[in-house]
Structure 1
Amino acid sequence: MDITAIAEQLFNAEKNKTACAPIRTYLEEKDLASAYKIQQLNIDKKVAQGAKTVGKKIGLTSFKVQEQLGVDQPDFGILLATMQLQNKSSFPYSLLMQPKAETEIAFVLKEDLTAAKPTLEDIKNAIDYAVIAVEIVGSRIENWNISITDTIADNASSSHFILGDKKVSLDSFDVINSPMEMHINNQLVSTGDGTSCLGNPLEAVVWLANTMIALGNPLKKGEIILSGALGPMANLNPKDTVKASIKGLGEVSFSTSA
């Protein structure tokens, strides 16, 4: 099966809300280049149908998860405007596929990152503000039976995201050590801090900026960057209420209906 057919299989799985078998059987185990081509084919198709790109998400920022999947680097996916849901909103569970929630720090850029090999200081200078986010990850692959090629081809297992309302400058909170908590139905389901995200969420953005420059698609002013989970993800179910907090960044919440 060629990459166009694989992309169509994933596209139809999402469209029909019916998960498909893993696609890694059609690719070599570490053929990341083909997996990203499949990802881009489906993003291009959605943009051609009217979708708008608004940023990027960084995945596999946990060293433990990298070890499980046998990789030594994160991956990325593309954020579309249709993926953003509103803080404090309720939305149908049927919108999602095999959803899990994780709490992250999102960064919004105030300038392009086009210079070669941007440093941590370059990244800090390019960020307008940070905001708390919950990313809802999902998978078009049956039972989350994924390898690195599966998740990359599937747009880094992206689904939706919700941003908080409080915009905070980098010098106003501790990006690495501010504690995170996420509750579902008033039960604590995840805790952590920035050390779980490549040791520092800003280092994840450094990786992304360098990767996008190498691909000829540098990060641009106004883009939203979901930098990676600060703690374990948790399964989402119908009629769940989710509330997450990060010290200094405030709260974000939402609920799913039946």
Structure 2
Amino acid sequence: MYFELKDTTADILAKSRRREELCDLPLDLIESEREAYDIQTTAQDALGFERKGYALVGTSDPARRMLGLKGPIYSEIPAFGLQRKAQNFRLPPGTIGVQCEFVFTMLRSFPDDGERISLDSVADAIMSCRPAIGIIGRRTRHAIAGTNAAIADFGLHVATLCGEHAERGEAGDFAGIEITTFLFQRTMLSGNSSSVMGNPLNAVAWLAEELAANGRQLEPSDVVATGSCTPILQVRAGQHLAADFGPLGQVECLFN
């Protein structure tokens, strides 16, 4: 049984991600969230890349329904998985789709000792925000079955493609932003930043709480990709996607 040998399971996942190959691990047999995060952490270590921050998935109701998740999940972003101003991206096997999201960069450690986690304290700890396209996918040939399987499989994170930095804002500045996606300049999906936990800064707060429960915290220059503000969109090679985040600007990519 793979899950009696977590290191073996994690090593197979890491090799599959590095080589962009699919494997046959029955991740649906993972029994607990704790075991799933343990496997994910060991797989991240096996990848051997510097971590750049965190990617969240399932922070909105439509995303959770599509992916079959009970709640939000997170994973660390390896250096190769964070791309700035990317104009082209090759979709690997197992790609599920894309999510239009906010990427916050931390100004300082958060939370500080004794600091209360709130929208205002999160806003104070943020250095900047960027619009982004998140690529989500799996490393197994089997469709993801449940939250624990998704967590173990790098939280379904493939890559985060970031646009330009926008000015740091107050907590209220990120609520109610309209997002529109275009394929070949034709409107496909629209959404609102409030679909991410009421305000995308709440996704940062949720992550800070999760990390604090395990004796960790967000560090200066960490990025946090908040999860999708729109329904997850399936894309294919040859398609051009643009996402308009209103006052935060646009981000676009050609998939191949």
Q: Same fold (TM over 0.5)?
A: yes
Q: Is the 8 A contact 1:87 1:163 kept in 2?
A: yes
After TM superposition, list the pairs within 5 Å mapping 1:29-44 onto structure 2.
31-44=32-45
Distance in 2 of aligned mates of 1:12 and 1:141: 12
Q: Does residue 1:105 correspond to 2:99, yes or no?
A: no
Aligned to 1:7: 10
Displacement after TM superposition at 1:77 (Å)? 0.7
What value does the CA root-mean-square deviation take over the aligned residues? 2.2
> Which one-letter code corresponds to 1:159 in the other structure?
V
Distance in 1 of aligned mates of 2:143 and 2:167: 34
After TM superposition, list the pairs within 5 Å mapping 1:77-116 onto structure 2.
77-93=75-91, 95=92, 97-114=94-111, 115-116=113-114
Q: Once structures 1 and 2 are overlaid, which stretch shifts more, 127-136 or 173-182?
A: 173-182
Displacement after TM superposition at 1:12 (Å)? 3.2
Q: With structure 1 as the length reference, what TM-score do the two structures score?
A: 0.88
Q: Does residue 1:183 correspond to 2:182, yes or no?
A: yes
Q: Which runs of 5+ in 2 are unaligned?
A: none
Distance in 1 of aligned mates of 2:171 and 2:212: 29
Distance in 2 of aligned mates of 1:200 and 1:113: 18
Distance in 1 of aligned mates of 2:110 and 2:86: 32
Displacement after TM superposition at 1:207 (Å)? 0.7
Structure 2 CA distance for partners of 1:146 and 1:100, relative to 1, 3 Å: same
> Which one-letter code corresponds to 2:102 in the other structure?
I
Distance in 1 of aligned mates of 2:56 and 2:38: 17
Displacement after TM superposition at 1:96 (Å)? 5.6
Distance in 2 of aligned mates of 1:70 and 1:165: 30
Q: Which runs of 5+ in 1 are unaligned?
A: none
Q: With structure 2 as the length reference, what TM-score do the two structures score?
A: 0.89
1:17-66 superposed Cα distances (whole Å, 9 cap, x missing partner): 332346334322xx00000000000111122xxx1111101111123544
Identity %: 20
Q: Is the 8 A contact 2:120 2:170 kept in 1?
A: no
Q: Is the 8 A contact 2:94 2:141 kept in 1?
A: no
- Paired residue total: 250
Displacement after TM superposition at 1:198 (Å)? 1.4
Structure 2 CA distance for partners of 1:143 and 1:170, relative to 1, 3 Å: farther
Secondary structure at the residue paired with 1:233?
coil
Secondary structure at the residue paired with 2:76?
strand
Aligned to 1:216: 215
Secondary structure at the residue paired with 1:182?
strand
Q: Is the 8 A contact 1:22 1:146 kept in 2?
A: no
After TM superposition, list the pairs within 5 Å mapping 1:219-258 onto structure 2.
219-257=218-256
> Which one-letter code corresponds to 1:60 in the other structure?
G
